[in-house]
Structure 1
Amino acid sequence: MDRPAAPAGAVATRPVVRDGAETVDAVAVEEPLEIRVDGDRIATTMRTPGSDHDLALGFLLAEGIIAGAEDVGSMFHCGRPGEEGYGNVLDVTSAGGHRIDPERILDSRRFLPVSSACGVCGREAIDRLLARVPAVASDARADRALVVRAMDALRRSQPVFERTGGLHAAVLVGAGGEVLAAAEDVGRHNAVDKVVGALLRQGVLGARATASGRPVVLAVSGRAGFEIVQKAAVAGVPVVASVSAPSSLAVDLAVRAGVALLGFVRGERMNVYAHAWRVDATASCPR
């Protein structure tokens, strides 16, 4: 896999003093993206510009607002190129003969900013999310060699991080180790939305998916929190692997949703916090 180039608009420069001398440093771009559905504001997230359409698709799927890309008629940035702030508002319109229902999103989350670190707050909101996250029906497994390939692909898919040290990444890998989608963002959950949205757009994921080659492993940089597992489960991805630690809620949700949750992945060494049968041939599948 060739190393991708950093997308336009993802890197900026700012002055810095280093070792007593003034110079410039490359920093990751962070800007707001307001997501609207048929003109109604749904959420605002702080993100790295690029793949905004995929980000919106992945977000709307995770929130249960759409079942797939076929529910969407068009997506466009509001305003005109060259205007201040252009590109930071994305309007999603319903497909003909179908109305996207934004009321399906949790009341406690509508119209509230979503930070680049976490989008869920409040015990009641978490309990309601837990109740509607579907269990992954697939019996797919990923041996340790596939997990290692996924983490290697993750490391090779971070051109902006290599320049700035300031982004997270997510990669979706198929059963043969092929990279199906890769993305970077200032937010871990945004990166996951981008890769899920890319496969929705390609017809690989969604209620009426037509393309073959469904993802088996979601590899992520940084901590594996609740929302990472939630987004994987909604997308039907059976294995989540992280270079870092999971949270307690992430483990609880993974157990409930049938997702194998792997943390501290270092080569073939890893902690398996949920559903070890998906990655370990000696572990039995729960019935």
Structure 2
Amino acid sequence: MHALDRITPTGAGGPVDRAIAVETPIAIEFNGIGYAVMMATPADLTDFAHGFALSERLADSAADIVAVDRHATERGEIVRVTLIAARMERVVERVRHRVSESSCGLCGIENLEQALRPLPRLDVVSDAQDAALFRALDALAAHQPINAETRAVHAAAQCTADGAIVRAREDVGRHNAFDKLIGAMARAGSGWDGGFALLSSRCSYELVEKAVIAGCPMLATISAPTSLAIERARQAGLRLVVLARPDAALAVPAG
């Protein structure tokens, strides 16, 4: 809890204690090579490591990840990931194109070809009807314990085709929350099974890419998309629903 001062237009107020979302540097290493430093919520970091490795295409499945070790330091956390030897070439190649200080995975990449790598075309579809989306929206808050305290973190939820939430992960970063969810699913051996992902954030193209790489057939976000997010979703055949609110949502037509 943090001691804060409450102020109001009338001048009434006083000291209050409030929970504040924790944000800390998380250094990620793969087989001893420093790969990135992310600003993240220091929870579910094993899930985060798995999801990050999969989203960055350093690993093809959870089986490629031998171990994840977490080490606390005075300045933050170090997450050391051990990949199978066959994946080391990918790590070395990607490190050549980035620096180890990034909040989005793009800093240090030297050209557009690296930033916008070709996406696979999805060969799965979501069976979710419109009612399922609104059912998931109604249930999302119950799966956000950190946000209930802080009102400062994002959530990413795995939803069934009928709108039930299977699991959710939270983080101060929307990309981190989705990586944690993808990692949790990989560790559990869980697939999308005709369902969808629901994110409490705007729809950036990075989130579209993560969804496609994870084989997610439908992505729904509560805020607006960027033009590039729509373009990438159409290229990959991802069903995209944005500005999803309790009373309405906007579906992006397929390209």
- Report whether the alignment pairs 1:244 with 2:232: no
Deviations, residues 72-128 of structure 1 (Å, cap 9, x unaligned): 11111136xxx6356x10111124x6444313537433x33222xx43358964543
Question: Which residue of structure 2 lines up, in the alignment, with residue 61 of structure 1?
Answer: 54
Aligned length: 249
| 1:1-287 map, 5 Å | 13-19=1-7, 20-78=13-71, 84-85=74-75, 88-95=77-84, 98-100=86-88, 101-105=90-94, 107-109=96-98, 111-115=99-103, 118-120=104-106, 125-205=111-191, 214=193, 216-267=195-246, 269-275=248-254
Q: Give per-residue Cα distances to partners, 1:165-221, cap 9 Å, x unaligned.
A: 11011101122433232011000000000000001111225xxxxxxx636211011
SS at 1:246 equivalent? coil
**Whole-Å Cα distance in 1 between the matches of residues 176 and 132 of structure 2?**
24
Quick one: which amino acid aligns to residue 183 of structure 1? R
| More displaced stretch, 224-233 vs 21-30 | 21-30
Deviation at 1:63, TM superposition (A): 1.0
TM norm structure 2: 0.88
**How many Å separate the matches in 1 of 2:222 and 2:179?**
18
Partner AA of 1:166 in structure 2: A
Task: Please state whether the residue corresponding to 2:155 is helix, strand or coil.
Answer: strand
Unaligned runs of 5+ in 1: 1-12, 206-212, 276-285
Give the deviation of 1:140 after TM superposition: 3.0
Distance in 2 between the 1:33 and 1:215 partners? 33
Relative to structure 1, the CA distance from residue 125 to residue 272 in structure 2 (aligned partners, 3 Å threshold; closer, same or farther) is farther
- Identical columns (%): 34
Q: Where does the alignment leave 5 or more consecutive residues of structure 2 unmatched? A: 8-12
Counterpart CA distance in 2 for 1:106 and 1:254 is 27
User: After superposition, what is the alpha-carbon deviation per residue over 1:119-166, rounded to whole angstroms, capped at 9, x for unaligned?
Assistant: 335896454343332121113332101212222232221111111111
Aligned residue for 1:131, secondary structure, equals: coil
